Amino acid sequence: MTGRVRLSQILKVFGWIGLTSLGGGRSVYFHAGLVEKRRWITNHEFIQDLTLSQLTPGPNMLVAVFVGYRAHGLVGALFACTAMFLPVCILTAVIARHWETLRERPWALACERALAPIGIGLMAAGVYTLARSGIQDRATGALAILAAAVLYGRWLPPIALVLAAGFVGWLAGL
C-alpha cells in the first residue's frame, strides 16, 4: 500500500483526529476513519498497529506513525506523527500559559467538569470498537475475557499480559 495515499490526505486526516478527539475516542476515530471509511488499513492491520503502539513508550496514539508508514512509507509516518501531535501541542501550550487566569471563570469550570464524563464515554467507545474489531471467534473472545480477568485481578503487569496474550495467539495460530 506504500505510496497509495497522498501526503496531503495524511496531514488532513491525522490533523483532524489530533484536534477533535481525546483519550479512548481516538481509537474510535482511527477505526471509523482509516479502516471503515478510507480503507487505508484492514481490521487486522489496525489491531496490529494499535498493539504495537501500546508497547512503545509514550502515547498509544503513536499508531498514527504505523498507519502513516503503511500508507506512504517513512515520509508518511513523519507526516502522520507531525499532523497528529503538533497542532494539539501548540494549542495546549497556549491554553496552559493562560489557564491560571481563566480557571475561575464559569465557562472554564463547566469545561473541566464536563471533560471527565466525556473522557469516560470516549474510553468506553474505544474499548467497544477494539473489542468488535479484535474479537472474531470463541478463541479470541475467551482470550479477551481471560485478559480482562487478569487485569482486574492485577495478577500480572499489563505489559506481561500483552506479551503472554501475543504468545498464546501465536501458538494457537490466530
Q: Which pLDDT tens digit goes with each residue over 35-59?
A: 889 989 998 888 888 888 877 766 6
Distance (Å, rounded) from C-alpha 145 to C-alpha 38?
31
Residue 99's domain comprises: 7-108
pLDDT of residue 69: 92
Looking at the domain assignment, is residue 116 inside a domain?
A: no
Q: Considering its fold, how many domains does the chain have in total?
A: 1
pLDDT of residue 75: 95
Mean pLDDT over residues 4-29, rounded? 83
Q: What is the CA radius of gyration of the chain?
A: 18
Question: Residue 128 contacts by C-beta under 8 Å, 6 or more apart in sequence?
Answer: none
pLDDT tens digits, residue range 157-172?
Answer: 988 888 887 788 788 7
Distance (Å, rounded) from C-alpha 127 to C-alpha 85?
22
What's the mean per-residue pLDDT of the chain? Answer: 85
Distance (Å, rounded) from C-alpha 134 to C-alpha 123?
16
88 by Cβ neighbours in 10 Å (0-12 / 13-18 / 19+) ranks as middle
Distance (Å, rounded) from C-alpha 118 to C-alpha 122?
6
Question: Residue 116 contacts by C-beta under 8 Å, 6 or more apart in sequence?
Answer: none
Looking at the domain assignment, is residue 74 inside a domain?
A: yes
Looking at the domain assignment, is residue 168 inside a domain?
A: no
Indicate if the pLDDT at residue 18 is higher than 60: yes
Are residues 117 and 30 in contact, defined by beta-carbon separation less than 8 angstroms? no
Distance (Å, rounded) from C-alpha 171 to C-alpha 174?
8
Looking at the domain assignment, is residue 22 inside a domain?
A: yes
pLDDT tens digits, residue range 129-153?
Answer: 878 878 888 988 888 898 889 989 9
Looking at the domain assignment, is residue 158 inside a domain?
A: no
Looking at the domain assignment, is residue 151 inside a domain?
A: no
Looking at the domain assignment, is residue 160 inside a domain?
A: no
Looking at the domain assignment, is residue 101 inside a domain?
A: yes
